[in-house]
Every structure is written in structure tokens, then in C-alpha cells.
Amino acid sequence: MTKVRPGAKRATSSKSAAARFSAVLLEGHKGTAVEVPFDPDERWTQAARALRPGRRGHWVRGKLEGVDFTSAIVPRSGRFWLLVDEPLRRAAGVRVGDTVRVTIDPLEDDPPQEVPPPAGA
């Protein structure tokens, strides 16, 4: 069971906001990611928020090849990227270059403190 820091709300997803898409898992200088085929600000009408000092983005919860995860979408070079860390890649059995199926929902609240921003965020 995930612990929630005192006074914090449990991270929840917006209802009926799920996005489903397929994308190629790519390796970049900040780690692995898949390109998100939409602007999260426009689709979810939620502004990006601080993920950590100096980095803004959108916290999301979803499934990659059927494996549950919590991660972030970050903007880079005029595009939006869903960060995919090594533990998620291993659990999903995917490698760089694979086309993966993704379902994501925005989180209305920050995830529990035990969920650090993904590498590259």
C-alpha cells in the first residue's frame, strides 16, 4: 500500500480523460520516453505544474503494455514526452525501438512523496 504524507490528498485521476495511443519507445539524452501525440494543456485543460525545481510538466497515471505506472509528461523541443523509466521497461518487457501501447490519465493531485519525479523530469 502506498503511503500518503500527512495532510496530502491521495493522487487521483480525472474521470473520462483517458488518452490511448501507440508510440515508439525512444532513447534520448535524458532517458527513454514516448512522444505524446497531443498537448496535455489543451486536451486536459490543466496547466503544467512543478515536478521538481526548474522542471514543469503533467503528472499522469496509466498503463504501458498493460503495466500500471505513475510518471510525467514533459515538454521538449516543441513536443511532449512521457518518461519511461527502466523498472517500467523491464516490467512491460519492452526495449528502445519497440512500439508500445499507452493509456494515460492526468493526476489531479501530486503523487505520494514516495513517487519521485522520473529521471529526465
For the purposes of burial, counting CB atoms within 10 Å of the CB of 56, is it exposed (0-12), middle (13-18) or buried (19 or more)?
middle
Indicate yes or no: pTM above 0.85: no
Mean pLDDT of all residues in 83-92: 95
pLDDT value of position 26: 96
Place of cell 529521471: 119
For the purposes of burial, counting CB atoms within 10 Å of the CB of 91, is it exposed (0-12), middle (13-18) or buried (19 or more)?
middle
CB neighbours of 116 closer than 8 A, spacing ≥ 6?
none
Mean pLDDT of all residues in 56-80: 94
pLDDT value of position 15: 45
Average pLDDT over all residues of the chain: 82
Residue 6 has pLDDT above 50, yes or no: no
Domains and CATH numbers, the chain: 19-106 (2.40.30.100)
pLDDT value of position 110: 73
